Structures are given as structure tokens and as C-alpha cells.
Amino acid sequence: MVMDPERGSAQYSSSVQFTPIKKLNGSNYATWSFQMKLVSMDSDLWTTVQPGEELKDVKDHRKVHLHEARQSEAFAKICLAIGDEQQLHLSSPKDVWEELQRLFAPRDSKLRILQLRRQLYAEKLENCAGVDAYFGRMNRIASELVSIGDRIDDGDIAMTILCGLPKKWDVVVSSICNLPESEFSRSTVKRRLLAKWQRRIDSDVRSVEAMTAEAVQRMPVEKRQSARVNIVCFKCGEKGHYARECAPGKKGREGSSRQIAESATDGHSSNMFASCYGASTDATTDWIIDSGATHHMCPHKRYFNTLYTSSSVRTNCKRFDNASR
């Protein structure tokens, strides 16, 4: 191809800009070659590689200078995008490109096709960080197969992608396999799997949020439960519960038992008395006094200056075990 002086002048007059791409490392040739081609096309230098530029008018010093500048710029872009171990002792961008192609993408190489096919069929979603990474690996291998002359059908790639999914994806796989033949493609599979993956991520996020909210709600209860450890029951003297929660029949503290008077359940108004007495004493002349009680009790009427009796009110005094007194 004969170089266009005007295009070469415009390109050479601009500053050289390098678009960063991942360097060629021997295993990413398909991706690297595609990205490198885009970089060269963006810089208007791809024609120096394919089909290549020839300089016929060697007497025109201006054309010679522009030709050498374009060749040098394209050569520099390619060499700076390959690893140190891949550096080649060649001088033109076309020669470097063709040599890399012979090394990493030999046309009609049955052995290389076999290796890539094995990689394609062995890829599994479980071995990848996510659906995006899984698709990236599958697309890279498929692109490399195409670059070395292997014609792999789009439907075959879509089916291979589905084969690499775990069993928990069987419902999604079944729905995709039931699509009409005209809709079954790599893009359709990718779109549906990405949607399912996003729903699964959203569900996991909601589950974590629900668990966090539940933990926050339970926190005060757990604090209260931990505080109950030091509580002493006034009925049995043991720790960890209140007297109202104490099982009937337990002995009281220091030989005492607590008795509670309950109201009658026959519909009449009644008085409630709390009494406490010693287990081994029978002090019939003592007053039973509680500083916080509403009523004080005494068994002798003669101690009262004024006493009003009522037959309409029935008062029952019971022990904690419901034994009437």
C-alpha cells in the first residue's frame, strides 16, 4: 500500500499517545491482538501493519521522512504492548505483527485448536469470581479459536456456557433451553444469566440486611438476659430468676417462706394482704407490719379503738401454694 502524505503529515504532527492495554503474555493473544488493532486504528496506523505501507518515491525526502515516522510510531506502540520476554529483533510493525501471529495463533494448527477446545469445555462458573468473569474467559477462548481458523458456531458456544453452570442453575438452564431456535444465542444466554446473577446478589444483600436488623432488635433482650444472671430470688435465694418465676415448693431464704394473699374471683371486691411469718414462731400478739403495705394486720379486736366490720366483703388469705388460711 502506498502511503498518503497528507494523512501521514497529520498523524506525525500530533503528539504520540499510548492507550494502556494489558501486555501480551502468551496466554492472552486473542484479546491483546484485538485491542492492539483498535489502538492502531485509533492512531491511523493500522495500514502500516495490514496490508503494510510501501515507499516507492525514495527521492522525495518529505515522503521518506513521513514514512519512517509512521513506521517507527507503529513499531513503538506494538513493542511497548508486549512483555520483555516477547521482544523480537525485527524492525517493521508488519514483520513484528506477523511473527507474533505465527507464534501464538498459527493458522490451521490442530494441536492448538485441541488445547483451546479443551479449555473451553473445562471452564466452570464455580472456578470464576462471578458470571462476568466466566463470560470473559469463555469469550477469550472463543476469540482465540476464531483467530487461528477454527470455526465455532455461536449456538455451540452458548450451549458450552450452559454446560459450565452448577446444578443449582438447572431451572434457569431449562428455561433457556426451551427457547425457540431463533432466540437461542450467546447474547441471549449472557443476558439471562446476568439477570439471574443480579437477582441472586440482591437476594443475598437483603438476607444480610435482615439478619443485621434482627441482631439489632435482639441486642437489648440479650443484654437483659445477661443482667439476670446476678438477680437473686427472694423466695428461694437462688440467682437467675425473680420470685414470681420461682417454682412452687422451693424453700425460702433463711428458713422463711413468702405467702401472698390473692383476691377472690367471685366478682366481689376484696382486699389483698401480703404476710410474712417465721417458720418456727407463733407470735399471736405481734403486729404484722410492712412499711410499704396498704393494710396492717393483727389477730386481736381488743387492740382497735374503732372497728368497722362488713359482711359484704369477703377476704381470703392464701399461701403461695394456694392453700387457704
> Quick check: 35 pLDDT over 90?
no
Specify whether 99 is located in the same domain as 116.
no
Number of domains making up the chain = 3
Domain end, chosen from 56, 72, 104, is at 104
> Quick check: 20 pLDDT over 70?
yes
Specify whether 48 is located in the same domain as 62.
yes
d(C-alpha 154, C-alpha 212), whole Å = 45
Domain end, chosen from 69, 86, 104, is at 104
Most confident among 8-17, 39-48, 298-307 (mean pLDDT): 39-48
Specify whether 66 is located in the same domain as 131.
no
Q: Is residue 235 part of a domain?
A: no
The answer to whether the bond into 106 is cis (omega within 30° of 0) is no
Q: In terms of pTM, does the model score above 0.75?
A: no
Indicate if the alpha-carbon torsion angle 301, 304, 305, 306 is positive or negative: negative
Q: Is residue 312 part of a domain?
A: yes
Q: Is residue 307 part of a domain?
A: yes
> Quick check: 15 pLDDT over 60?
no
10-25 mean pLDDT? 60
Specify whether 123 is located in the same domain as 60.
no
Residue 275 to residues 10, 144, 280: CA-CA distances in angstroms? 109, 94, 15
Rg (CA), the chain: 46
Specify whether 175 is located in the same domain as 150.
yes
Specify whether 15 is located in the same domain as 36.
yes
Specify whether 14 is located in the same domain as 95.
yes
174-198 mean pLDDT? 90
d(C-alpha 205, C-alpha 209), whole Å = 6
Q: Is residue 246 part of a domain?
A: no
Q: Is 290 within 8 Å of 296 (Cβ atoms)? A: yes
What's the whole-number average pLDDT of the chain?
73
Specify whether 122 is located in the same domain as 71.
no
Q: Is residue 215 part of a domain?
A: no
d(C-alpha 82, C-alpha 73), whole Å = 15
d(C-alpha 5, C-alpha 277), whole Å = 119
Specify whether 139 is located in the same domain as 183.
yes
Q: What percent of the chain has pLDDT over 90?
A: 12
- What is the residue range of 48's domain? 5-104
Specify whether 120 is located in the same domain as 68.
no
Among the residue ranges 57-66, 100-109, 242-251, the one predicted with the least confidence is 242-251
Residue 28 to residues 34, 63, 131, 253: CA-CA distances in angstroms? 10, 37, 19, 82
Q: Is residue 117 part of a domain?
A: yes
Specify whether 320 is located in the same domain as 274.
yes
73-85 mean pLDDT? 85
Specify whether 272 is located in the same domain as 183.
no
Domain end, chosen from 104, 127, 146, is at 104
Neighbours of 43 (CB within 10 A): 19
